[in-house]
Structure formats: structure tokens, C-alpha cells
Structure 1
Amino acid sequence: MARPKKADVSTGSFFEEDYLVRTLGRIAHDPEVALTELVANAWDAGASLVDITVPSVGETALVVQDDGHGMSAAQFKGRWMRLGYDRIKHQGVHVEFPPERADWRRKAYGRNGVGRHGLLCFANHYDVETWREGKGANFEIGTQSSETPFKIMKETTFLRQGHGTRLSVVVQRHLPDEGRIRDILSARFLHDPQFVVRVNGQSVSLADQSGLIEQTALNIPGCPAAEAFVVDSSKAAKSTIYQGVAFWVNGRLVGSPSWVVGSEAVIDGRSRFAKRYSIVVKTNDGWASEIEPDWARFKPSTKAEALFAAVQKYAQQVFSKLSSDLVEESSEDALVRNREEFKGLSQLRRIEVASFARDLVKANPTVNPDTLSAAVQALINLEKSRGGAGLLEKLTKLDESDIEGLDRLLSQWTVRDALSVLDEIDHRLAVVTAIEKLCGDPATDELHTLHPLVTQARWLFGPEFDSSEYASNVSLRTATAKIFSKRVATTAFVNSKQRPDIVSLADATCSVVGTETFDSANSNLMRIQDVLIIELKKGKSTIGRDEMNQADGYIQDFLGSGALDGTPIFRAFVVGYEIAPKTAREKEIKEESVLRGKVMATTYGQLTRTAHQRLLRLKERIPARYEDVSGADLSARVMQRATQAPLLLVNKNCAEPSTT
């Protein structure tokens, strides 16, 4: 075999020999996608039959042959050999049919001209044989050239009656599964009975579809019989060329499938249900007289209206029956579309928003995805403004000495903002008070009450941790399970999945959470940025050197676990009732002079005193700025006005008191 000519790099660009394969994406690596694209090409060529021969072993021929219009040698070179061929520009949106099918109608599937190279999924060169009007040509296409992404390696001509195209390739990689390919192609092209796809001589009928949900006879008084088939395309294929209701009359498609039946849209075509399910209405030739001559639509008639009404009613019944399966998918999709804002909520508010999304889809199964997403976004914004946590987070990150920064921030707030923050401060002060009372009460169930309370209140350990971004993820849980596996008390929690960040130990409770960020400098993937470890000692515990060394060991174990994405900075707090004398309150962990973590000892008393001081200062400073603002004084006067308690009167005729 002659060696390829070396490219001249002095005068222009040139290509790697596998350039085209690398730019085709999934077409070059997924046989299901590759063969779907090639069958779609046959659809666009006006074919009624596509025969695919799938070999059982490699190094044998895979063949795709259709009875479409075929191409002349000149057409092949002008269409097939044009990189990025714009089909709509050169051929329009409608399919060209062979002469005997001139009255057929079909919309073209192809757009950007890449699907025709699907055989490159199986080898680096393939053969194309195409014929029409008594003449044919055979082309051997290869990619082994640095001068062009692909080229004609060999060309011959022949004489043949009829029309069609035959593609063949010797499979060297990605050998497809015959049964899987048959199921996928039959599902993706099921809407048109005039387009049959056979794999190794066998096709899948409508009644044998792997995704067939149900088959029902439609009762239409005074009209010819009709039968409806509901197909779940996700059972075999992830998508179909068309979605909606397809009408088959005597084995021929009327118009194009659509969720608009007659003049009424039975389902929003953008919904998950509409994209997943299809309905085929199959009738006999008794309906042929009700169809326009070009088969583009039904004629306006009483019978057609009766058919549409029956189909609309049936579609709604099917939708009501199957939509419950999509509630979780639809609500999850709405939350994912608002993921960044959703992450900013507290755990409780996330649950509330998720429940709202689920309930809304249950009550309105046909809700538009954009409307659902907008409703979720509105509730997230409402939860943020109602909680005041986001505003307080900005406030707590300011240094107390930064009076100018504090004044500037407060000047940007509305009365609503200030009141939201004050509500949040009151809530946090209540948490601090609860911790103070519980930590000194011998009857407190520390494991189930005190410890979860403290680990949820990360702001106790400093304003830098006052962010809802701290959460438990799979990478952290894997590393935590590995490190604490020998010390975990598996029976401590009835349902440990409710708090995946808490690990119950024999003498303590440990919370491990972290923040994530995109590694834009390297992989552009998510990696863990910071890790916060809070170890709460049980009982009247004293923190000594052993406890500090133990926390040091945790960080060392995490760093060496190999289970974390990235190289995060660790902050570990060991919390107890007191700290033993001559015990260092801080300890740094370094690797080659680089700070990787820090261990800090603190007491419950120190945490609550610090929190009280900071929160009370903020509570005193904020209201004074808003006393003269319109609305604030009116609200204060209303709340300060004395009111009379209800007067209880004894009714002599009955035992219960009454009020006036």
C-alpha cells in the first residue's frame, strides 16, 4: 500500500488523519447513534425500505441499503463530499421521492450533513454504491489523508435500473448488537408505516414494540373502526424523529405527528410526557374518503371531528394515568434548572421548595416546564427574602471594626431586609440559648438533640462558615466512611440517611461537610475547596493533647485517603466542656511548608458567649437606622398598642365558658 503523501506545511493548513472521526462526536463512537443517522439519511432520500445487515463477528461487512432516490456521480460529489453540507439550503425542508412515490409527503430529518459519515464509527474507510436513472457509481471513502478530512480513494461506474444507495464497511470496532439496534430503530421511526427498517431481514411491528404500553380500540359511534397504540420511546430509543399523535390510514401516514389534534392542543409538546410518549391511531381504508388528496390532513367533516374528539379524550386519559410517573422527573428538572439558587437555601427551605415543586406537578400534570421553573425560582427568592440568612451572611463577614463598610451595607437595605435579618438573629439567639441550657443539663440526650443542633449551626464557629454551600457530598461521605469505619457506632441513629454529614462515634459525634468549586485552571470539573470537621465530645468531657492529636490524625487520614476530589483546606474544631491545662488550642498541619489544615479546641461556653456578643451587637445596631423610615413607625405603633384580652363569661346553661 502506497504511503500517504506528506502534507506541505509551508503554504496552508493540514489535518490529522483521524480529524473527521474526532469531530463527529457520538456518531463516531456509538453504533446506535451512527446507524440511526444513516437510517435518517435513507428517510431523507425518500426510501420506503431500509435493509441493515449486522454481522455477528468483527472483520466482516456491515451493510445499510435503501430504495431511496439514489444519486448520480455528480450529485454524490456535490452533496456527500461537501464538508458541513447544508441540506435545507440546497434541497429544502421536504424530502425528494423517486418518481413512483411522487405523491408522498415527508419532512427531512437531516440538517448539518454529518450523519452520512456514520460508518466511520466502525472503520476508517467505507464504500458507497448509489444509482438512479439507469446509471450508478461506486466510491471508496477514506480518512487517511492529511490534506483533507476525507477523500474518494477509488471511483468506478456501472449500469443498473431502479434507484437506491448501498453503504458497506468492514467492522473493525464498535460491533453493534443486532437486537438492540432493531428495537431502537423501530422505535425512532415508528410513526410512518411507509418507512420500514429491517435488521438482518426482520422488522418490529407496531404491536411488538418493546415500549408498547397499551393497545385499545376506540369507540366512535357511526364511524369505521380505529385502534390506538401508546408507545414509551424511552424503553428502546431515547428520542424519536417525531412526537405526538400519528394517524395511520390503511398503512399510510396522514400529515405529520403532532400533539395538536384537529384544532386543539391536547398536551403541551414541551412537557416531559410529550417528549417521552407517542400515540399511534391506526385505521382501515374506511377513513380514506375523509382525507385531503395530498394526505396532508383530514377534510373538515363530522366524522373527522368525531375521530378527533375520541382521540383527544383518550390522550387525556393516558396522560392522567401515566403522568404520576413523571412527577419526580418534572419537579427534579425544575430544581436542577435553578440549582445554584437552590443550593443557597438552608436544608429545611430546600425541602420546602422541593415539596412545593412536587405538589405543583401533581396538581397540574400539564404544567409547562418553563412555568414550573419560574414558579420554583419565585419561591426560592421568597424563601431567601423571608429567611434573612443570605443578608446576615454578608453582615457577619464584615469585620466589626469596619464601620464604613457596615454603614455602606446597611444603607443599601430596605426595611424588609432589616426585619428579615432581625428575625434571623432572633432565631440564632434562640439556638444559642438552647445550646446553653442543654449542654449543662445532665438529662439531655446529647447524641440526638445537642449534637445535631450544634453541627447545623456552623456560624457558631465563625462568620467564614456562615454559608449554606457547606454540604455533604459523595466524595466526602466515601472518605468519611473509610476513615471512621472502625469507630462508627452503626446503631446510634435510627435512620442515618437523614443526616449523612454526621458520624456517630463511641465517645463523640463528628460532622464532616465541605464546599465545592470549579477547577477552571485544570480539568474544569468540580472539586472540594474547603472541609469543615466538627467533633463534639460527649458528657463532661475534657479536651487534652490526645483529643487534639486524634483530630490531627483525621485530617492526615483524609489527605491520604485518595477519595477526595481536589486538595481542600481542612478546619477541624474539637468541642468539649473544658480544655485541659497545657493543651494548645490551635494546631496546624502542613505538607512541605504548605498549610493543609488547622485543628482548634473550644468549649460550648466559648461558642455561646462569642455568638451572644456578636449577635446582640448586630441586633442593637440595625433597628436604629430604620426608625424614621415610612412604615416602620406605623408598624411599631400598632404592635405597641395595648389590647384588651377576651372577656370570659360563664354560661349557666353549659359547662363551657363563652367569649364576647
Structure 2
Amino acid sequence: MATPTPSEQLSLSFGENFLEHHAGQIIDDPRYAIVELVANAWDAGAGNVEIKWPDKIGDTILIHDDGLGMTKEEFSFRWGKLNYNRIALQGRNVEFPKGRSGRQRTAFGKNGIGRHAMFCFCNEYIVETHKDGQKTRARVIKTPKGDFPYSVEILENQTSKTSTMHGTTISGVANKNISLSQNTILKVVGSKFIADPEFVLSINSIKVDFEELEQESDITEINIENVGIVKVKRFEGENNRTTQHQGVAWWVNRRLVGTPSWENVSGRLIDGRNAIAKRYVYIVEADILKPFVKADWSGFHASPELNNVLKKVYDHINEDLITLLTASRTERKNDAFSANKDLIKTLPAHIRQDISEIIDEFQKDCPTFGVNELESTVKVLANMEKSRSGYSLLEKLAQLKANDLDSLNAILDEWSISDIKKIMNELQWRLDLINKLEPLVNNSNADELHDLQPLFERGLWIFGPEFESLSFTSNRTLATIVKKYFGNAALESPGRRPDFVVVPDSSIGVYSRDGYDDEHNVSGIDCVVIVELKRGGFKLGYQEKDQAKNYAREIRKAGHVDKSTKIICYVLGSSIDSEGDVADPGYEGHTSIIPRRYSSVLKQAHARTFNLLSKIEWAHKSISNLEEQNNLFAQ
């Protein structure tokens, strides 16, 4: 009879990079990390948070807050557990330091993972925290593998009966992930916590200024009869992990009333799972509602006057959200269709329209559907429809002449179908842009001009091979700076494109390409291209060149680009007088002003497409709103 093997208790340990998998982007992405560090201060009831951001590797990174702080026992418990249920142990509401009359604030954190954010910048850091007369200092060191993913050493613990200090300071020597510029951090952190004006942030002694962030907001004034004017400001930030600090925030005398939320008087404005809900916050400045504010600022007292204001404001926000959602859903749907265009383009137009409508319903009912899920859904629906319609390659081959079959066979001997499609798709886009440019040379109708500007998002290749990269994208922030330069002269952009500037005689687009440091992290803007399209028949002169220089000056003055950033301004018109017919390639260092005639641009565009328009017949396909699908599939 076999002897039973005695039981054995296995010892467990943590593998390499455990924290990277456990905490994810919080210790991989500096944008997430810095927000989490500030969120920790928010949860501690802080009113002021100071960040010291390093200039280079080896400098100190520091985050200090005047929040509640921790006793030695509280610090040991929280840092001694990998995960702890913050809500169960401390509740959903934030506790404030003694003597601070804080109104209700909802905690950001849930399970304590945000504590590890400092590991994004350094492998070792110091925590100094004060509470109830106790001062505690500890060193936290990340360990690559072993029994624990990190170690904690208490360096100092003192008790003073007279000390009233409170708050926490976390500091370390930065050795990675510090490529973000100070302006970027100001924007990223400020946009997350802008809903509460009493939460003060500063970075390297520079306070996050609401007025600065306001420059990039969309502002609407609502005149409510017999009550007064309410300002609604929409701010866009980067996607949050949650909607904790997003939604509608009501301000009275620059103080937050209640908690930001997407809830309104009749339900929910938007599903919180939607990406839009995690990106935007609306600030409603309603000083006229001061008489209705509750004593603890937790909300408003109900009244008919208040209900009238709420209805007007929420109706406006709801309409704005519908516009944002429509644009977002259309973009994602187009991406899904583009990914399947080889499969779906042969289907009849009415079938494509049916699939389009089904995808619209999917996005309404399932807001968490990503592009990958939508692509799969389109593929399944297209295959089902294609099998019923009976369209096939054999039908097309049967219609070819013998010579065409020989030519096709010779082509396929040298080229793959995917390579042919890539070349033809790129050529069609370029030839289509040339076709749209041709009528503008002598046309003084400015409407067509504004329709043309969006094409330059993918049309910078005309100016030279250095602009072939797809990394140049429209930059809404820089366009806003140019728009402010014109003041009231700027018009509303057709098609709700706030990234373009429209004035009576021209349209201006601003495009940028990111720069990267030695660690391949985004370090700012490497190059800015400004394209100003003057109306047909317009003659360029010294004044137009000088105006383009002002655009560049305003962008540099706003501090969104570095001194080394290249700014290239192309000013396009029908003709150029003798004073304006000279480019300024090195104006003010890294700024170049280049006037060009439309005719010269067209000649260059033809040359860069091998003059194909003169060699082949090009049937330009019209675009309409089913037609929007034809634009994607008829390639």
C-alpha cells in the first residue's frame, strides 16, 4: 500500500514587473501618474497642492498638499496593503483637516492603486506626512522581484502635543518619464480638477490659472428672461478613467455648488460609460442663483425660478452633447467602415445605408462599443449581405476583354492586391485634392475656399516631401490662438470645425507634428505648419506676409511651443505683387513665411502626382450623404 505524501505549504513570491501589470498606466504613463498624485491630495481634503516638476533626470520631483495627512498607523496600514477598499474603510466622502469648513467632496480613489503613481518617475521615494501632532517619514523602494513588489522603511516618527501641522509631501529623484512640458502638465492636471475653483494647484510656483484654461473653452451666454445671464463654459480634457470630475459643475460667485454630475432634473444627460462623458466638463457660472444656494453649498433650494434656469441650461447642454456625440459616433462609424471597405464597397448603396443605420443604433444602445467591436460588427453584417446579393469577382472578370485579362495577370505577377489598393487610394485622394483646387484659382467665391481647408489635413504633401508624414494633424489649440488675433473679425467656421479660422477673405488651418525625446516620449511640438488660403483672385503683398508673421508671433507668445519649434507659414493666393514675391525662410530664427501662387501650387501638385490627370480620364465622383459612404468605399 502506497504511503500518502504529506501536505506541503508553498511559499509565494512576486514575479518581475508585477506592479506594472497591477497598476497599469498609472506607473507607465506620466499623464495618468501626475493626475493620480493630485487625486490623492484631493482625497485627503487638500485645498492647495504644490508640484515641483524636474527639468532633467536626476532632479527632484515633489508633490506637497495641505490635506488631512496620516498618522504612522494609517500610513503603515495603507502602504502595507497592495489593495484596500478605500470606500469601505474611509467612505465615499472626503474628510477635511480640522478648522477647514469644507463642503461635501466625493473621493476620487477606490482601491489605493494611485499610491503607486510615484513609481512612474522614480524607483525610490520619500513620504513625509503630518497629522494629530505626529510626523512620519518613510522610504518606499520598488523591488524588481521577491517576496514583495516594494519595501517600506519608517525613517522617523515623532509626536508633538503642540504641533498643528497637517498634510503630506512625497518626493524622489526622477530617473524616467519626465518629458512632459510644464505647460502640458498645467493643462492635463488643470482640466481634470477645474470643476472646483477652491482646489488650488501650482506647478513650479505657477498657479493653474482658470483664465488660461478658459481661453480654450467654448463659452455660451444664456439670457434667461426676468432672471439674468448665465455663462456655460465647455472644457475638454484627456479621457479620464472615470467621470468623477466630469459632468456639469454649478458655480456661484466662483464657488462650487454640489458635486459635478451628468444628472439633470429629469434624468441623465449622457451615459457615463461614453468616452464623451469622461472627457468633458461644463462650468455653469450662475451668480444669479445666490439666493437659492443651501447653507452648506451642497445644492440649491427648489423654486420655480430655479427650475426655469435649470431647464434652459440643461436644454443647451443637451443640444451641445448631441452635436458632440453625433460627431464622435460618425467618426467611429467611418473608421469601422474604412477598415472593411474592401469587403463592403461592392454592396448596393441601399444595403450600405442599412448597415450604417444598424451601426448607429448599436452605438446608442452600447456606448462602450469600441472601434474594434464596430469593425467586427460591420464585417459580419457585410458578409451576410454579400452572400445574399451574389456579387463576386467572377462576374467582374467575365466582363473583361482578353487584352485586359493579360494586363491584369501581368500586374498581379508583380504586385499584390493590397499594394495596388494602397497606391490607388493615395493617388485618388491626391488627384481629388487637385481637382478641388483647380476651380479656385480665379474664383472669388469664398464658400468653396472654406470647404477646401479640411483637405489640407491630408494635403500638406503638395508643399514638399518633408510633409509626407501622417503625423501632421490639425491643432485646435493653436488655431484658437490665431482666431483670437482676429477678434470679432473671425467668422463661425462652417461645418462646426473649431480647428479652422475663417475670416471674410481667407481660411486658415494650423497643423502640428509632435517632437520626441531620447526615450521616444512626446516632448512637445516639433513643427507647426500654418496654411492660409486666400479667396480666388486675391493678390498677395507685403501686408499678407506681415500678417502671417503675426500668427507665428502670437503662437510663440502664448507659450504652447518651444523656441526651437519650427513654424512654417504658407500663404496662398491667385497672384503676388513685387513686394510680396520673396519668401522669408529664416524670419526670427525658426519661423519661415512662404507666399505661393495657386498656379504654382497646382503645378507642383501635378508634378508630384506624375501629371497623371493629363494622362488618364478621371471621373470625379460626387459626394452626398449616403454619399458620405460613397466617399469611403468608391476607392
TM-score by length of structure 2 reads 0.56
2:246 match: 243
Describe the shift of the 1:302–1:315 C-alpha distance in structure 2 as closer, same or farther (beyond 3 A).
same
Larger RCO, structure (CA 8 Å, separation 6 or more):
2
Describe the shift of the 1:43–1:357 C-alpha distance in structure 2 as closer, same or farther (beyond 3 A).
farther
Structure 1 gap segments, 5+ residues each: 1-9, 389-419, 456-470, 482-489, 499-660
Q: Note the C-alpha offset of 1:132.
A: 1.3
1:413 match: none
CA contact (8 A) 2:271 2:367 kept: no
**Structure 1 position 217 matched with structure 2 position 221:** yes
Paired residues in the alignment total 417
Please list the CA deviations of residues 212-242 of structure 1 after superposition, one character each: whole Å capped at 9, or x if unmatched.
33223321223354221111224x9797643
2:473 match: none
Q: Which amino acid is the alignment partner of residue 209 of structure 1?
A: L
Give the whole-Å Cα distance in 2 for the aligned partners of 1:174 and 1:114: 19
2:127 match: 128
2:170 match: 167
**Secondary structure in 2 matching 1:295:** coil
**Structure 1 position 119 matched with structure 2 position 123:** no
Structure 2 gap segments, 5+ residues each: 1-8, 433-635
Describe the shift of the 1:432–1:220 C-alpha distance in structure 2 as closer, same or farther (beyond 3 A).
closer
Describe the shift of the 1:382–1:123 C-alpha distance in structure 2 as closer, same or farther (beyond 3 A).
closer
Describe the shift of the 1:300–1:161 C-alpha distance in structure 2 as closer, same or farther (beyond 3 A).
same
**Secondary structure in 2 matching 1:63:** strand
Q: Note the C-alpha offset of 1:311.
A: 0.7
Describe the shift of the 1:274–1:126 C-alpha distance in structure 2 as closer, same or farther (beyond 3 A).
closer
1:281 match: 284
Q: Which amino acid is the alignment partner of residue 196 of structure 1?
A: V
2:41 match: 42
2:76 match: 77
Q: Larger deviation: 44-53 or 159-168?
A: 159-168
Matches within 5 A, 1:371-382: none
Give the whole-Å Cα distance in 1 for the aligned partners of 2:367 and 2:361: 14
Give the whole-Å Cα distance in 2 for the aligned partners of 1:68 and 1:225: 36
Matches within 5 A, 1:398-477: 420=388, 424=390, 430-431=395-396, 433-435=398-400, 438-439=401-402, 451=408
Give the whole-Å Cα distance in 2 for the aligned partners of 1:249 and 1:493: 56
Matches within 5 A, 1:235-634: 241-284=244-287, 286-319=288-321, 322=324, 325-332=327-334, 345-349=343-347, 369=367, 383-388=382-387, 420=388, 424=390, 430-431=395-396, 433-435=398-400, 438-439=401-402, 451=408
Give the whole-Å Cα distance in 1 for the aligned partners of 2:208 and 2:257: 21
1:99 match: 98
CA contact (8 A) 1:330 1:361 kept: no
Please list the CA deviations of residues 160-217 of structure 1 after superposition, one character each: whole Å capped at 9, or x if unmatched.
3131111111112222432211110001111122222211122333332178332233
**Secondary structure in 1 matching 2:347:** helix
CA contact (8 A) 1:232 1:278 kept: yes
**Secondary structure in 2 matching 1:209:** helix
Describe the shift of the 1:213–1:150 C-alpha distance in structure 2 as closer, same or farther (beyond 3 A).
same
Q: Which amino acid is the alignment partner of residue 207 of structure 2?
A: S
Q: Which amino acid is the alignment partner of residue 196 of structure 2?
A: D
1:190 match: 194
Q: Which amino acid is the alignment partner of residue 27 of structure 1?
A: I
Give the whole-Å Cα distance in 1 for the aligned partners of 2:361 and 2:21: 47
Give the whole-Å Cα distance in 2 for the aligned partners of 1:253 and 1:477: 58
Q: Note the C-alpha offset of 1:30.
A: 2.3
Q: Note the C-alpha offset of 1:383.
A: 4.8
Give the whole-Å Cα distance in 2 for the aligned partners of 1:350 and 1:197: 57
- Kindly name which structure, 1 or 2, has the bigger radius of gyration based on alpha carbons: 1
Give the whole-Å Cα distance in 1 for the aligned partners of 2:327 and 2:228: 34
CA contact (8 A) 1:267 1:366 kept: no
Describe the shift of the 1:187–1:451 C-alpha distance in structure 2 as closer, same or farther (beyond 3 A).
same
**Structure 1 position 179 matched with structure 2 position 183:** yes
**Secondary structure in 1 matching 2:165:** coil
Describe the shift of the 1:107–1:239 C-alpha distance in structure 2 as closer, same or farther (beyond 3 A).
closer
Describe the shift of the 1:369–1:238 C-alpha distance in structure 2 as closer, same or farther (beyond 3 A).
closer
**Structure 1 position 232 matched with structure 2 position 236:** yes
Q: Which amino acid is the alignment partner of residue 292 of structure 1?
A: K
CA contact (8 A) 1:330 1:369 kept: no
Q: Which amino acid is the alignment partner of residue 390 of structure 2?
A: E
RMSD of aligned Cα (Å): 4.5
Give the whole-Å Cα distance in 2 for the aligned partners of 1:269 and 1:246: 15
Q: Note the C-alpha offset of 1:256.
A: 2.4
1:615 match: none
